[in-house]
Amino acid sequence: MGTRLVKPITPGLRFRVEKKYTEITKTKPEKSLTFGLKNRAGRSSSGRISVRRRGGGHKRLYRIIDFKRDKQTIPAKVHSIEYDPNRSALIALLYYVDGEKRYILCPKGLVVGQEVISGAGAPISVGNAMPLSEIPLGTEVHNVELTHGKGGQLLRAAGSGANLIAKEGAYATIRLPSGESRMIHQSCYATIGSVGNEDIMNVKYGKAGRMRWLRKRPKVRGVAMNPHDHPHGGGEGKTSGGRHPVSPWGVATKGYRTRKKKKQSSKFIIRKKS
């Protein structure tokens, strides 16, 4: 764990801060749990760019992650902890006693050889998954379901975790890292602990080339474009745009509310983001 400052022997290394992946125990993924990931470069099924500034980069294999944790009451041992190029979190390879293998998000504190289990009645231990109804108040959780049986949708990024702060009726209340408090049905599953690899937020890439390896392409400012290409473009000399910030299609990009009023989702929010 932790990070290290690289010796600046080249300009690209001058401000580079790398993560120490000392917890990784296996460098090649489990072949039966991977498949090739096609690089669509931000394009939709019609071939048009729907997400800008994506493309190129290194080839990746997608690791199939068990977000549902639906293999219940069957114990498994942590065989290895691995890097996953598709997410900020590390992943752990589980060997179940019946011979099946699965990947899960690696929580902070999980070690090789540790036994984990999911299902009602599981002990309160890091890596175990169970319904919110069986988790004590004050416990930190991650990979939380919003709909029972759908699989974890909240708190899957590196370093993320929420606190279970209340239970009332059929619902439990969790406090998210954003400060938002949200009610979730107590039948929904959650995993004990917070997601590991929290030091990734301190990494500094040091050069633009490393971002290109991650499929992130350059961003051109709107004020540097022509008026034909962006509403901020044009003008004599260096201008600041001359209007409130907008997208290339004229939609406001700062202070403009984009959240849709979904009754199914919003009614469970007790306290909004701070």
Chain centre distance of CA 183: 21
The dihedral built from the CA positions of residue 68, 70, 73 and 76, taken in this order, carries a sign that is: negative
195 vs 179: CA distance, rounded Å = 18
- Two structure tokens written together for 210: 């490393």
Classify domain 3-201 by CATH number.
2.40.50.140
Shortest CA distance to 33 belongs to which of 1, 73, 79?
79
149 vs 146: CA distance, rounded Å = 9
104 vs 69: CA distance, rounded Å = 8
Q: Which residues of 75-111 are buried (b: 16+ CB within 10 A; e: fewer)?
A: ebebbbbbbbbebbbbbbbbeeeeeeebbbbbbbebe
Angle (CA) 263-268-269 rounded to 5° is 105
Q: What is the pLDDT along the chain (274 residues), one digit of tens a residue?
A: 689 999 999 999 999 999 998 899 998 999 999 999 889 999 999 999 999 999 999 999 999 999 999 999 999 999 999 999 999 999 999 999 999 999 999 999 999 999 999 999 899 999 999 999 999 999 999 999 999 999 999 999 999 999 999 999 999 999 999 999 999 999 999 999 999 999 999 999 999 999 999 999 999 999 999 999 999 999 999 999 889 999 999 999 998 888 777 666 778 888 888 6
**Number of alpha carbons in the 13 Å side-chain half-sphere of residue 260:** 3
**pTM for the structure as a whole:** 0.88
In a 3-state reduction of DSSP, which class is residue 105?
strand
203 vs 206: CA distance, rounded Å = 9
What one-character-per-residue DSSP string does 61-72 give? EEE-B-SS---T
**Number of alpha carbons in the 13 Å side-chain half-sphere of residue 144:** 28
1 vs 200: CA distance, rounded Å = 10
Specify the DSSP element, H or E, that contains 130. strand 129-131
Shortest CA distance to 171 belongs to which of 187, 182, 185?
185
Q: What are phi and psi of 45, to 5 degrees?
A: -65, -20
